[in-house]
Each structure stands twice: as structure tokens, then as C-alpha cells.
Amino acid sequence: MDVLNWKDREDVKIDKFPYRGKQHDVKGISVRWLSKAGEDGMGYPEYGLRYFTAQPGGEIPIHNHFYQQTMYILSGRFECYQYDPETDKPLKSMVCGPGDVIYLPSMEPHGMRNISDTEPATFLCCICNVYDKESL
């Protein structure tokens, strides 16, 4: 068993997120890896729990990833975006706040931004690779 305090993990600023072979700018976002296990062969763990901080107006641009993801909003309010996987046009946006849970299946294009101009916002993000029997 490992026990730690989230403040003991390094807060790493994220500058870019890849999407469709291009690097897209990230604004005011940092992450602390609280736990991780395994290796997916692409530089990500098979499982991980992360603590994200979004500065006022902080934004994660459109992106997707192989792993499945669940986010739990701790503080602040985020506008969360879902995009069409064929055209990258916005399909839906929702404002999510403390206590809201967002699930994203593998490869679904998405993004989000802190809608406050004055307060940071935080969320937990759990990632996990789940394989179908056909892909093994």
C-alpha cells in the first residue's frame, strides 16, 4: 500500500496536447500524477489517477486518447466539449461543476476550459486501458 498527500506530487505544467498528428496549445493547465501502474507501450500507464488544476481561463484543446477516462470535478466550473470524431465540429457543450462526473470512452474527441476569469478549478481524472476480447 502506498499513502501520500496530493501536495507531495510534482505539479507539472502541460504546454501541448497532440491531436491528429499536430501539437495543440494548452492554456493554464497543470497535472499531478497521484498514482499509476502498468505501461501501455505509448508512454502512458495502463491505469492512473491524476489531479488537474486549471488556472482562470485555463483550457485543454480538442484531443483524444486510447484509454478510457473518468473525471470528477472538485472545484470551479468547466465548460466541457464533445466533438464529432469525423469532422471535429462541436457536438455538445455542458457546464460541469463540483460533484459532476464526466466519462469519456476511448478515442472520443473532447476538450474543456475553466469558465472563471478569477478562480482556479480542479478535477480528478482516472485513466484506464480496457481491451475488448477482439483487440487482444
Say yes or no to pLDDT of 66 above 90: no
| Within a domain: 46 | yes
| Within a domain: 36 | yes
Q: Percent of the chain having pLDDT more than 70?
A: 96
| Full domain range(s) for residue 27 | 8-50+116-129
| Within a domain: 44 | yes
Look at 75 and 130; give whichever has higher pLDDT. 75
Average of per-residue pLDDT across 55-78:
96
* CA distances (Å), origin 78, targets 45, 89, 134: 26, 19, 36
| Within a domain: 59 | no
**Residue 24: half-sphere exposure toward Cβ, Cα within 13 Å:** 14
Phi first, then psi: give them for residue 68, nearest 5 degrees: -85, 155
Look at 136 and 102; give whichever has higher pLDDT. 102
| Within a domain: 12 | yes
| Within a domain: 25 | yes
Say yes or no to pLDDT of 81 above 80: yes
Tell which phi-psi region holds residue 90, choosing left (phi > 0), alpha (psi between -120 and 50) or beta: beta
| Within a domain: 122 | yes
Number of domains present in the structure of the chain:
1
Residue for grid cell 465540429 = 89
